[in-house]
Structure formats: structure tokens, C-alpha cells
Amino acid sequence: MKVLATVAEALAQSRAKLPRVVVPTMGALHKAHLELIRVARNYAGRDGEVAVSIFVNPLQFEPGSDYERYPRPDRQDEELCRNADVNLLFRPSPAEMYADDRSVFVEETSLSNTLEGKSRPGHFRGVCTVVAKLFNILAPDAAVFGEKDFQQLVIIRRMVRDLNFKIDIVGVPTVRENDGLACSSRNQYLNVEERKQATALRRALLAAADRTKAGEESAKTIVDLARKTIGQASLARIDYVDLVDAKNLLPIEVVRPNSLLALAVFFGQTRLIDNILVG
């Protein structure tokens, strides 16, 4: 495995192996990242190339967020990538990725107005900007993203379409812990009691999905049920619970095929997200 720290090094890499599949991450890798890498390897084949990027992107962290304390276990991440048969590990510094006088950004203006975009203004401008840069630097044939960050996946697909990137975007179902909590690098922030109560998120999503299967069509009823279930966890503080169209991410009033129930909830200072398709 080659470890690259500069844009120049990454641009200089020959494309002897095809296809190249990239897995963009912010590090603190766990079993969900391993699943993304596994899917990338399957797509690339044995003769292809899997590239993992690790970059804690300052542009997607709003003021007062956890950018400074975001976990950065560099040695552990590198070892995990080596053991997972990764060919390239691109691990640049912020100074390497962004000029001090940077003035050009990539911004999506429709899909990013709800859910995470509403709660975290500017977040997706940071995501789109860094992902576009990674695509230009690493020149992949495909890129793999997890469905836990469903809105991010939809926005990246839109960016690829609208900016004519010749890159396949591969979505991977959410990987979960044994108790149902979605895998996340931020889970390690949770104390014992917060971690125990955080399982309410998955219970809420499943309860809502079961209600729709039973014939409930009212979005308000479904959202209220999810909120009530989360509310049984005394430490939970809801940011949002919304039912939206999974294609355009706009709120809906009646459950229909391809509806997405998405939520964001704080446990202490830790903000967790999750979602489920219903309808």
C-alpha cells in the first residue's frame, strides 16, 4: 500500500491498474468503513485499485462543532487499510488541500436545504467542495459512500450528474452494531448510559416502518411515533425527525413509495443521525 500525503504525489500516481475506486473518509475507521472498502474491492476486482482518502475536512464543520476533537487515530487507520487490501491511502493536511486565499467552492442549492443542510448551514458546500477535489486529484472510475449519510449520497450523485463527472457513485447500506445503532466514528464520544440509550434511534425507525407496513399513510403520525419512541430515552435531545421524498428530500405529508424517515438526535454533546426507507 502506498501512503500519499501531498496532492502532487497523488496526481503523479500512474493508472496501471483499472478501474480505480475511491472511498472518501474522515478517518477513525471502523467496520462500516471496512464494508465500504470491501464493496470498493468487489467493484474494482482483483486487478483494479482501491484508494482510501482520510481527511478531516474543516469546511464541513460549522463553528463550535467537534472539528478539533474529531478522532484522528492515524496509525490504527493505516494498519486497517493495509489489512483490508487497500492500494492507495491519501492522507493530506488541510494546508495541502486548501490554499489560504481559496475563493472557489462547490455548492448544491436544492437538495441541501432540508435535514442536515437545514441544521448545519454550509455543511454540504464543504462536502461537495472536498469531494470534487478528491475526484479531480484521485481520478477514480467509481466512488463508494454509505447510506447512513443518505442526504450526502443523494447530493453527491446530483453533483456528479450536474458537473459531468464520469464517475459511478455506489451506495452501501448502513452497517450497524449488534444492538442496531448505526456505526459512526462519533459513537466513541458516548458514555456508557448515552450509548445504551442511543439504541432508541433504531427502535424509532423500525416502529415507524412497521406502522407504514400496517397501512398508516399520515406523515405526521409516523413522525410523532418516532419522536415518542426516541422520547423514551431520557438523555435524547431531538434535532429533527422528518419524513421526506427520498429523491428530492422535500417534506411530504402522505407516505408513498420511496419515502425516507430521517433523524438527528443529540446524546450529551454527541449528535447522531440515522434513517430508513418506508412506504
Active site residues: 33
- Whose CA is closest to 34, among 93, 79, 92? 79
DSSP E strands in 116-269: the ranges are 142-146, 168-172, 236-245, 259-267
Pairing of strands 259-267, 88-90: unpaired
Contact between 27 and 72 (Cβ < 8 Å): yes
**Cis omega (within 30 of 0) for bond into 73:** no
**CA distance linking residue 75 with residue 33, whole number of Å:** 16
Residue 235: all three cell numbers together? 438523555
